[in-house]
Amino acid sequence: MGVTQQARRSAGVAAGVATILMAAACGSGGGAATGGDRPATSAGPVTVEWWGWAPGYDKAAEAWNASHPGIQVKYTQIEPGAKGGYQKMLGAVKAGNAPCLAQVGGETLASFLVEGALEDITDYAKESNAKFQQWAVNSVTFGGRQVAVPVDSGPMGMFYRKDLFAKHKIDVPKTWDEFAAAAEKLHAADPKVFLTSFNPDDMYGFSGYAWQAGANWFSTSGDAWKVSITDEPTLKVANYWQGLLDKKLVDVKSAWSDAWFKDFTDGKIASLVGAVWMTKVLEDSIPKTSGAWAVAPMPSWESGTAVTGNVGGSPNAVLKGCANPREAVEFATWLATDQAAFDDLVVNGGLFPTSTDGTSLPAMKSPRPFYGDQPVFEVFSEAARTVAPSFGWGPTTPAVNDAFNSAVGEAVSKGGSLADALKTVQEKAVASIKDKGLSVTEG
């Protein structure tokens, strides 16, 4: 098999990606096409094992299995990737007992690729790629070879407590300057209440702020990775939050901790700027506050200019060693494009579609009781049209995440500088790429 010069260049950037993908393509085989709605043969149905954690995935597997006897999906819910799921997946690949299909965040795909953990699914996926937004297909394609099926994305918005805003006469901020002013006004009115929290262990949330500001942490230059975690837009974001931290205008909590959710329940945190999938997380995690919340656009840096960040979006990747990649792709494509299936994922999981007709789903316009019957996905549909296009992730995301948690956590706990902490993250990101034997430059 040959590869194009473009594929070879991308391979050089990602530690022999072409070699990895060529081996995967040769190993996965062609075989005859198999339809998911075919009857099971005497040998039984094809079984596709699938690992993930998104709310609603279990119900999607049940719906598929009920109507596709020839291909049965065995779904296993695991810990979210950054909480141990990715380590489990990579360990299973190395042990030779990985599932065929796995939920892998877009920020982590390149890391899996470098580890040789992904199959090349280009030939299986190409006929259905027209069902997706082109940028979504591009995000799961390396060197012209596709390794995953797009599912959802994470445009950002601002979740806020209507009751607390009304009580303290806080206007919904449209800009980050207004957001800072609201933080000061609210905390002065009630010192027990903060407008929002800063999570020193949430690199992905912070990346969404940087993404909106125009950052581009990872890119490629020739055959080398370029790391720019201390670029001007990111330092702008760091200095903004440093100002709020120095004035003690934001709460500091570990993301996803019981204490963090308790503060939301108790009305000690009045807003959260986060991704669309937080819609369902808040509904499930703080049900006592149902009806008190609403969603507004993410504050902008310049008045009248709508630019949005993105956090997350988890394609389903076919892991190395999958015996039935064609069937895995068939199911993954159905999951992401079937109108009824994804409508359920919007309702049950808060997922935002990457399919071309996803915004026409009934659930995208439906009121949600937790948000006072506001059709909040309409806000995110608008936000999705203004996501900044430049941000990129690199090949060692887990290591960068660890570096961020350590450096930023120490800076916040000891009164250090976020900007200085990011310099440490930059250094460790560069070192982690070098440790993989890859070429790297600093932006």
Could you list the pLDDT tens digit for every one of the 443 residues in the chain? 332 333 333 444 444 454 444 443 333 333 333 344 444 444 679 999 999 999 999 999 999 999 999 999 999 999 999 889 999 999 999 999 999 999 999 999 999 999 999 999 999 999 999 999 998 999 999 989 999 999 999 999 999 999 999 999 999 999 999 999 999 999 999 999 999 999 999 999 999 999 999 999 999 888 899 999 999 999 999 999 999 999 999 999 999 999 999 999 999 999 999 999 999 999 999 999 999 999 999 999 999 999 999 999 999 999 999 999 999 999 999 999 999 999 999 998 899 999 999 989 999 999 999 999 999 999 999 999 999 988 999 999 999 999 999 999 999 999 999 999 999 999 999 999 999 999 999 87
Instruction: Please check whether residues 161 and 177 belong to one and the same domain.
Output: yes
- Say how far apart CA 134 and CA 278 lie, in whole Å: 25
- The answer as to whether 52 is a domain residue is yes
- Here the CATH number for the domain that contains residue 422 is 3.40.190.10
| Per-residue burial over 258-282, b = 16 or more CB atoms within 10 Å of its CB, e = otherwise | eebbebbeebbbbbbbbbbbbbbbb
pLDDT on residue 43: 66
**Tokens standing for residue 365:** 């316009």
- On whether residue 382 sits in a domain, the answer given is no
Predicted local distance difference test score (pLDDT) of residue 352: 96
Asked whether residue 377 is assigned to any structural domain, the reply reads no
Per-residue model confidence (pLDDT) at position 28: 37
Asked whether residue 221 is assigned to any structural domain, the reply reads yes
Tell me which residue range forms the domain holding 186. Answer: 156-310+388-442
pTM over 0.85: yes
Residues 190 and 214 in one domain: yes
Phi and psi at 87, nearest 5°, equal -60, -40
Same structural domain, 189 and 83? no
- Is 260 part of any domain? yes
Q: What is the pLDDT of residue 389?
A: 85
Do both 192 and 221 map to the same domain? yes
Residue 273 in 3-state DSSP? strand
- Reading the block at residue 373, the tokens are 């019957």
Considering the domain architecture, whether residues 15 and 141 belong to the same structural domain is answered as yes
E strand intervals along 128-244 = 141-142, 145-146, 148-149, 152-153, 156-161, 197-198, 218-221, 224-227
Q: How many domains would you assign to the chain?
A: 2
Read off the DSSP letter of residue 42: T
Q: 353 and 249, same structural domain?
A: no
pLDDT at residue 282 in the model: 97
Per DSSP, what are the bridge partners of residue 179? none
Q: Are residues 136 and 267 in the same domain?
A: no
Ordered alpha helix ranges (H), 39-154: 57-67, 85-95, 109-114, 122-125, 134-139
Which of 61, 91, 86 has the alpha carbon at shortest distance from 76? 61
304 and 224 belong to one structural domain? yes
Tokens of 394: 């690199």
Which residues have C-beta within 8 Å of that of residue 232, sequence separation ≥ 6?
A: none
* Cα–Cα distance measured from residue 438 to residue 219, given in angstroms and rounded to the nearest whole number: 13
Is 348 inside any structural domain? yes
Same domain, 276 and 287: yes
- Clarify whether residues 393 and 337 are in a common domain: no
379 assigned to some structural domain: no
Q: Which helix or strand (DSSP H or E) is residue 77 part of? A: strand 71-77
Give domain status of residue 371, yes or no: no
3-state secondary structure of 390: coil
Q: At residue 363, what are phi and psi to the nearest 5 degrees?
A: -65, -20
Same domain as 169, residue 139: no
| Tokens standing for residue 200 | 């020193």
Q: Are residues 272 and 210 in the same domain?
A: yes
User: For the packed helices 418-435 and 397-413, what is the interaxial angle rounded to 10 degrees?
Assistant: 160
